[in-house]
Structure 1
């Protein structure tokens, strides 16, 4: 695997900065913050600003990246996954494939980068690693792929032996893992799902269903800082 971007942050003596593209409501952002980064998020959905826990920019992710990406130590992007989700086979809608354009812009800017997406997007990604909830002690199975311009070796993936409750239901002692996907769920379910994900500030069902557990980004950010020889601030 080639690593096209240099591992030389522009702010060698400051707290490192992450540009969080397609930031939604900040699941990945919180993990990078926990790893020791300052965060700026960009999204076309202005409603994300209601709950995004860090500096939020309402705008086009790629346009902002090309204009300002060089100001950051690390660029993260979570392009919309609708083009790859299996549900798209039923709704017959056409969604933009933004993984390749996002990668091209990241490489043009020349900063280290991470691209996240769902398992079905694997053919569009370059040597991704897969992360899942039990790798980080979370009671939910949530496979997500991460392509990085720097080496990532995932932690061990425990077998999926714990039983999972049906979507929309609260966990029980016999089925302690939650299924977190969209639907007409109760507020109690939404709060339990946010707690299981590690995103208690997210108060909408759609927000928590689209979120990525912060533990994933905290692990990635820690790996990046270790490669840089930098301790978390």
Structure 2
């Protein structure tokens, strides 16, 4: 049986992609910017154009639209309005795609993003040394793991980031105030080469967790 295929929109350097790969998917990435360290097949392309032209060839669509509009940092740097608010546009496009093809989709973003009934994932759920809360909205229901009390310090009320060094070794992977090697180890990433790539990435463990659930849905529908 051929592998199920997943199209990774707004893919960045491939944090989500590696998780889906580990869950068993064949992954293809799309980003408007070059991503020389993306670990799988990659197309430099507009997300909507890619969804319309490539989407029918895939079993799942994952989208991580730019998060800067919703981040805590926008309040500090007054930069949020300079970044696009794409979540609603992406959701509408994915729902249209799903209506045509009857297949799963996922939107990932940060706390504060207007996702509908999202699952919240945290690095502590996977034994990682980052909190790095991320939200996941999906058309098939997803499991919500237990979110325990954090054992480190946090630099934001909603847990978006942690201070550069928490009391128990938790680190912040945001901006440029971190050591690349430490951040890569904390997030479980060994192929990204720059702090910028890491600051924009999510730990692969998150989408491995999501991907295994999607795989079960697809396997059930295939039989």
- TM-score norm. by structure 2 comes to 0.87
Using a 3 Å threshold, how does the CA distance of structure 1 residues 37 and 210 change in structure 2: closer, same or farther? same
CA deviation digits over 1:172-207, x for unaligned, max 9? xx532112111254xxx1011011111111110111
Q: Which residue of 1 aligns with 2:184?
A: 194
SS across alignment from 2:174: coil
Once residues 211 and 150 of structure 2 are traced to their aligned partners in structure 1, the CA distance between those partners, rounded to angstroms, is 26
Q: Which residue of 1 aligns with 2:170?
A: 177
Shift of 1:30: 0.1
Q: Which residue of 2 aligns with 1:75?
A: 61
Asked if structure 2 preserves the Cα contact closer than 8 Å seen for 1:66 and 1:105, the reply is: no
Asked if 1:18 is matched to 2:6, the reply is: yes
Asked if structure 2 preserves the Cα contact closer than 8 Å seen for 1:119 and 1:143, the reply is: yes
Gaps of 5+ in 1: 1-12
Equivalent residues in 2 for 1:122-201, closer than 5 Å: 124-162=114-152, 166-167=163-164, 175-185=168-178, 189-201=179-191
Aligned residues: 207
- TM-score norm. by structure 1 comes to 0.83
Once residues 226 and 112 of structure 1 are traced to their aligned partners in structure 2, the CA distance between those partners, rounded to angstroms, is 11
Asked if 1:58 is matched to 2:52, the reply is: no
Match of 2:104 among 86, 109, 112: 112
Once residues 190 and 88 of structure 2 are traced to their aligned partners in structure 1, the CA distance between those partners, rounded to angstroms, is 32
Once residues 229 and 222 of structure 1 are traced to their aligned partners in structure 2, the CA distance between those partners, rounded to angstroms, is 10
Shift of 1:162: 3.7
Once residues 13 and 62 of structure 2 are traced to their aligned partners in structure 1, the CA distance between those partners, rounded to angstroms, is 14
Gaps of 5+ in 2: 155-161
